[in-house]
Amino acid sequence: MNIGVVGINHNYAPIEIRESASFRDTQKIEAINLLLDKGIEEVVILSTCNRSEIYFSCEDSINGIEIISNFYGEFFNEEILSNYIFTRKNNEAINHLFYVCAGLDSLIIGEDQILGQVIDTHEFCMTIGSSKKILNKIFREAITTSKEIKTKIKISEKPLSISYIGIKLLKEKIKTFKGKNALVIGVGKMNKLTIKYLQEEKIGQIYVSNRNHGKVKEIEKFYNNIIPIMYEDRYSILDKVDIIISATSSPHIVVKKDEIKNIKSELHIMDIALPRDIDPKVSEIKGVQLYDIDDLKKIQSDNTEKRKELSEIAKKIIEDKVYDLNIWLNSCTIHSTIGSLNSRCESIKKDTLDYIFRKIELDTKDKKIIDKILSSALKRMIREPIINLKNIEDDEKRKEIVDIIQKLFEI
């Protein structure tokens, strides 16, 4: 069994490319079914604001990589995506997932949100049955290791989420939040953090709008100075705010240029959603400054270097965990072959006993004795080869011998 990952992320692609390759949950189900139909055995699709990655297991990793690389362009009807795709296979693919899970491959090193996204994604794929024995084991180990890293070295101790960096960028632009008002669109995890950070900055009023107004009413009791706004009324209060921060899961634009009428002389808009919430043409309006998640790359936090030091410690922890995981993966191949050998012996034993019992009249006691003798003889025949196979440490040599055994015994 081989492991691979094919994807598009912030390391290789700008926001407009990532946006065009973003999977909604319904699209994930459709894409997974199409890939399973193409012969991929297990699939997990991780789609966030910074990455769209397909993890898989199949017999032939090279063929799997080729199938999924072509699939991106076909599924999203965008040939240009092929210019931004990265691929990893086997150990490199596993390492990549561990790095992603621990926040070491994030825009903000060590950020916390990605771990929850990986957990949700894996649970989703287990529910629909596309993540099975191999990917379940790999994802669970990556998640457990990530939690261990966060506990041991506290790489995420200081807040460096996308929400935090977004607020930091806005503060650099407007100098102070005191006396300012903000409109927050969306009440997911990112914007709950956004509200928290805005309050820490002593901002004035925070208008909050969400397509499901009930969710705004739910969080109102947990935060001060929140003013709930009906979603359809979001444009009507633009003359009252200095800042707009939007982070929804909408596949469509939620703030359109043509709908913006009355604004203050200066309006700062932070779009931390993907697909983007804010019409890029909004930046053409006089007095409007528009920022998106790619602008956050320009922000250097005070403890970036410290996090890089901690990430080296994290990488060593991951290295040890991946080594153990590879031992398990290799043993899966051996156990499968051993199981097939045992099944072949059982089949031979059954056929032989059926023949003997047809030709010779035996009582129950004698039948049991012959059964045990034959079982012991067949197991003795394969015992030494199995022990020798388990003792081979060289991965390539072991795989070569497993292939020979499978061909010789037709298993």
Residue 1: closest CA among 320, 321, 335: 335
> Distance (Å, rounded) from C-alpha 29 to C-alpha 134?
19
Q: Which secondary-structure segment (H or E) carries 6?
A: strand 2-9
- Say what the pTM is: 0.65
Looking at the predicted structure, is the pLDDT value of residue 88 above 90? yes
Residues 144-175 have pLDDT tens digits of: 999 988 888 776 655 567 888 888 889 888 88
- Rounded mean pLDDT of 204-222? 85
Mean pLDDT, rounded, for 136-142 = 95
Mean pLDDT of 303-308: 64
What pLDDT was estimated at residue 402? Answer: 75
- Domains in the chain, please, with CATH? 2-158 (3.30.460.30), 162-298 (3.40.50.720), 328-409 (no CATH)
Chain position carrying tokens 């999203």: 76
- Spot the catalytic one: 49, 58, 101, 125: 49
Cβ atoms 274, 301 nearer than 8 A: no
369: phi then psi, degrees, rounded to nearest 5: -65, -45
Structural element, H or E, at residue 320: helix 304-359
Give 62's pLDDT tier (boundaries 50, 70, 90): confident
Mean pLDDT of 318-342: 79
The pLDDT tens digits of the residues spanning 337-389 come to 777 888 888 889 999 999 999 888 888 888 999 999 998 888 888 888 777 77
- Contact assessment for residue 118 and residue 106, using Cβ atoms and an 8 Å cutoff: no
Residue 251: predicted pLDDT:
86
Catalytic site includes residue 345: no
1-36: pLDDT as tens digits: 689 999 999 888 988 899 888 898 889 999 999 999
Select from 304, 38, 55 the least CA-distant residue to 168.
304
Cis link prior to 275 (omega < 30° from 0)?
yes
Tokens 């065009």 locate to: 20
Q: Over the stretch 195-211, which tens digit does the pLDDT of each residue have?
A: 888 888 889 989 999 98
Helices and strands in the chain, H and E counts:
12, 10
Contact 209, 255 (CB under 8 A): no
**CA 90 to mean position of chain CA atoms:** 16
Per-residue confidence at 143, pLDDT binned at 50, 70, 90? very high
The answer to whether the CB of 199 falls within 8 A of the CB of 224 is yes
Across the chain, what does the average pLDDT equal?
86
Mean pLDDT of 98-105: 89
The residues with which 2 forms a beta bridge, in sequence order, are 58
Q: Give the residue-averaged pLDDT of 221-226.
A: 78
